[in-house]
Amino acid sequence: MKVLAFSHSMDLALELVSAGRELGDVSLLVTSDQEGRINEVKGAKEVLLCKGLDSGDQEGLVELISGLASDYEVVLLASDRRGRELVGQVAHRLGASSAVDVSSLSVEDGKLVVERMTFGGKAIAVEEMSLPAVISVQKGKFKPPEEGEPSVREVSAPSIERRVEVIERKEKPKVGVPLDKAEIVVAVGRGFRKKEDLKLAYELADVLGGVVGATRPVAADLKWMEEEVWIGISGVRIAPKLLIVVGASGQQQFAAGIMDSKVVVAVNTDSKAPIFEQADYGVVMDLYEFLPVLTKKLKEIKGG
Amino acid sequence: MDIAVLVKQSLDVQELRVDQDTGKIYIEDAPTKAGDIELNATEEAVRLKEKLGGKAIAIMLSTGGASGKRQKEAREALTRVLAMGLDGAVLIMGEGAEKGDTYVIAKALAEEIRDKFGLVLAAEGSEDNFSGLLPARLAAELGWPYVAYATAIEVEGDHVKVTRSLEDFEEVVRVKFPAVISVTQEINKPRVPKLVEIVKAKKKPLDQKDFSPPVEPKLTIRELKVPKVERKQIVIEGDVEEAAEKLIQALKEEGVL
Ligand SMILES: Cc1cc2nc3c(=O)[nH]c(=O)nc-3n(C[C@H](O)[C@H](O)[C@H](O)COP(=O)(O)OP(=O)(O)OC[C@H]3O[C@@H](n4cnc5c(N)ncnc54)[C@H](O)[C@@H]3O)c2cc1C
Ligand SMILES: Nc1ncnc2c1ncn2[C@@H]1O[C@H](COP(=O)(O)O)[C@@H](O)[C@H]1O
């Protein structure tokens, strides 16, 4: 089977190569801005280098990928926002089947069989897709291959009239340790009354050697933290060995992002909050009273 | 210029019961509703129509089956968005729609939208499926440009300026009508309709049409599984000091400290 792969993020592109190898030979599309990292690509059959197209050009990408795709049975894209934006457009142009955020994939009787989370994380759907298929692969599920030098073939950029013009692009501040790689996470929710109070969470994370994440409203609505740190179905999925959820109700869309955590602790004043069903240990208390005491006691044992 | 707002009849995932032991998912028992982010799309449509003139209409293709209960819920969901200030609604419903994948639904919705609207607003993802596939496919079917994840939309003559939030940066793009735009939850605060508005909404035009599949689906769901997540759900009792001690003890025993 022939697989075409592309991601705006080179790190995710390398994961896609690995996912694609479960199905067959992988051709990885690389755009002009990614050319400098070509030598990191291992395990793909070939690299298709398009020197005339920047990965910031979504319309150009839809055109280019749809054009190249006629030689392939499966197109793999990443499940970041720009990757998912492409899936439906490319699939529809090809008259292909589509799925996003796929965690496993295989071929059975000429169909692509994939698994993905649905119903806000309450179920996993096993889907049978006709070929050709366009899918995005869940982040962090596949480890980049380490061996195998691909050949490089240049492809030309499409010439189309662009209807979407990018007039400004502002980088967001980068966070330290990525949440999905952290061993210990303290997740904060709207139970915190103001931004300054997050200090309580940072102090707890510090003594544990962990990092702080948030619910979507804390990051995206209140903008108390960078958007990279929101946990859940529309944010990051985490798998730490210890997760302490503080002042978050545990709505399904958040809960979907914490399922793979090993031990979950919840601190919430409302004993009926759904987060307690998602937790191994529940503390029904005011975070403003409980966190300082917990942090102090942990300092004592960690310190001496 | 008229605006179409895409409203899906989604399962209320918060209320959906699943049984981890038997793997049963109680889909029929769960209520359905318009997705939260679709209320943001509705709010944005109501605000934009003042600047663009014309009407804003909700369009729903119900995939929940054609039972009386689902039909009632679909109409209630549409009444909810009508009460926020939309001018009318179209409900497409019928046997077979529940088998429709995004390929089928996009084709069916396009028939309702082509030549009638200049702007389509959708949510970045639906409440129960959260894929964002439908608006992207619809844009491709219509041949219109697609901009996802809008956090602000400004009208400037014959085009709109859209601010969108991506993982590592924020982008401002300019796009000409007609276009398909999906919005995020952060774009606005949806108004909460007053009782009188809900009463008035019941009198607004709600046009119900029969669904007939335009094409065969490309994807079928073979099985729905319940992920096994086992949590101990132990409540730590005592005063603040005791609770902290007990928690630390438990985490030590778990080997995570
Ligand atoms: C399609 C879709 C996708 C979404 N994706 C995500 C996502 O990826 N991630 C996400 O997080 N959300 C997501 N959401 C939003 C989600 O539904 C919830 O609205 C959100 O998770 C709630 O955030 P919260 O727990 O911080 O706030 P709330 O629900 O307001 O909860 C605050 C909690 O704090 C508790 N509390 C208050 N005061 C104290 C105190 N002093 N001490 C201790 N506890 C206190 C309260 O009892 C309450 O339980 C999504 C929604 C939709 C519709
Ligand atoms: N059957 C439908 N009827 C109307 N709008 C829909 C339908 N399915 C999806 N949409 C719209 O597309 C958005 C994204 O849905 P999804 O592709 O399922 O994530 C939804 O939030 C709606 O705005």
Q: What's the pLDDT tens digit per position in B200-248?
A: 999 999 999 999 999 999 999 999 999 988 999 999 999 999 999 999 9
Q: Is A24 in the pocket of ligand 1 (CB under 6 A)?
A: no
Q: Has residue A250 got a pLDDT over 80?
A: yes
pLDDT value, residue A304:
53
Task: Give the 3-state secondary structure of residue A295.
Answer: helix
Half-sphere exposure of A262 (CA within 13 A, CB side): 12
B123 and B247 co-located in one domain: no
Check residue B65 and give its pLDDT.
80
List the domain range (segments joined by +) for residue B103.
3-226
B235 in the same domain as B222: no
Cβ proximity of B58 and B84 under 8 Å: no
| Residue A253 in contact with ligand 1 by CB distance below 6 A | yes
Residue type, A191: G
Q: Which atom of ligand 2 is closest in space to residue B41's alpha carbon? A: 23
What's the whole-number mean pLDDT along residues B17-24?
A: 94
Mark yes or no for CB contact A91/B219 under 8 Å.
Answer: no
Ligand nearest to the CA of A236: 1
Same domain, B87 and B181: yes
Interface contact flag, B226 A251, Cβ < 8 Å = no
Whether B166 has its CB under 8 Å from any CB of chain A: the answer is yes
Residues B23, B149 within the same domain:
yes
- In this structure, are B91 and B139 located in the same domain? yes
Choose, out of B40, B99, B120, B231, the residue to mutate when testing the contact with A (most A CBs < 10 Å): B231
Atom number, ligand 1, closest to the C-alpha of residue A257: 8
**CB-CB under 8 Å, B225 with A265:** no
Q: Which of B27, B107, B134, B219 should one mutate to test binding to chain A, selecting the residue with the greatest count of A CBs within 10 A?
A: B219
Q: Measure A189 CA to ligand 2 centroid, in angstroms.
A: 28
pLDDT tens across A90-108, in order?
999 999 999 999 999 999 9
CA distance B96 to B226: 25
Ligand 2 binding site (Cβ under 6 Å of any ligand atom): B 6-8, 35, 37-38, 41, 59-61, 63, 105, 122-123, 125-126, 129-135
Q: What percent of chain A has pLDDT over 70?
A: 99
Residues B128 and B178 in one domain: yes
Q: pTM (2 decimals)?
A: 0.95
**Is residue B53 predicted with pLDDT exceeding 70?**
yes
Ligand 1 neighbourhood includes A6 CB (under 6 angstroms): no
Residues B109, B19, single domain; the answer is yes
Query: Mind listing the domains of chain A with CATH numbers?
Result: 2-154 (3.40.50.620), 179-303 (3.40.50.1220)
| Distance in angstroms (rounded) separating the CA atoms of residues B257 and B252 | 5
Phi and psi dihedrals of B216, rounded to 5?
-85, 145
Tokens of B72: 């009632």
Residues B186 and B244 in one domain: no
User: Could you tell me if the ipTM is greater than 0.90?
Assistant: yes
Cβ pair A89:B137 closer than 8 A: yes
A176 has pLDDT over 80: no
Looking up tokens 């630390």, which residue turns up? B248
Q: Assess whether B147 and B189 both reside in one domain.
A: yes
A279 and A244 Cβ atoms separated by less than 8 Å: no
CATH at residue B70: 3.40.50.620
Q: Which of A69-83, A214-228, B80-94 has the lowest mean pLDDT?
A: A214-228
Query: Using 50, 70 and 90 to split pLDDT, how confident is the model at B171?
Result: very high
* CB contact (8 A) between residue A276 and residue B219: no
Residue B49: pLDDT above 90? Answer: yes
Whether residues B254 and B151 share a domain: the answer is no
Pocket test for ligand 1, best of A229, A251, A277 (most atoms within 8 A of CB): A251
Check whether A46 has a pLDDT greater than 80: yes
Domains in chain B, number: 2
Range with lowest mean pLDDT among A170-179, B8-17, B122-131: A170-179
Question: Based on the number of CB atoms within 10 Å of its own CB, is A175 exposed (0-12), middle (13-18) or buried (19 or more)?
Answer: middle
Burial A208-245 (b: 16+ CB within 10 A, else e): bebbbbbbbbbbbebebbebbbbbbbbbbbbbbbbbbb
The pLDDT of residue A168 is above 80: yes
Q: Say if ligand 1 is within 6 A of residue A192 CB.
A: no
CB contact under 8 A, B248 and A298: yes
- pLDDT in the model for residue B66: 78
Counting atoms of ligand 2 from 1, which one is nearest the CA of B35?
21
Rounded distance, CA A111 to CA A74, Å? 11
Q: How are beta strands B9-11 and A133-137 bridged, if at all?
A: unpaired
3-state secondary structure of A211: strand
Q: Do B219 and A99 touch (CB under 8 A)?
A: yes
Pair (B70, B195) in one structural domain: yes
Query: How many angstroms is it from A249 CA to the middle of ligand 1?
Result: 5
Determine the residue of chain B that is closest to A63 in CA distance. B140
- CB proximity A203 to B under 8 Å: no
3-state secondary structure chain B: CCEEEECCEEECCCCCCECCCCCCECCCCCCEEECHHHHHHHHHHHHHHHHHCCCEEEEEECCCCCCHHHHHHHHHHHHHHHHCCCCEEEEEECCCHHHCCHHHHHHHHHHHHCCCCCEEEEECCCCCCCCCHHHHHHHHHHCCCEEEEEEEEEEECCEEEEEEECCCEEEEEEEECCEEEEECCCCCCCCCCCHHHHHHHCCCCEEEEECCCCCCCCEEEEEEECCCCCCCCEECCCCHHHHHHHHHHHHHHHCCC
| A253 in B contact zone (CB under 8 Å) | yes
Whose atoms come closest to the Cα of A217: which ligand? Answer: 1
| B218 & B126 share domain | yes
Whether B74 and B93 have beta carbons less than 8 Å apart is answered as yes
Q: Which of A268, A243, A246, A249 is nearest to A198 (CA)?
A: A246
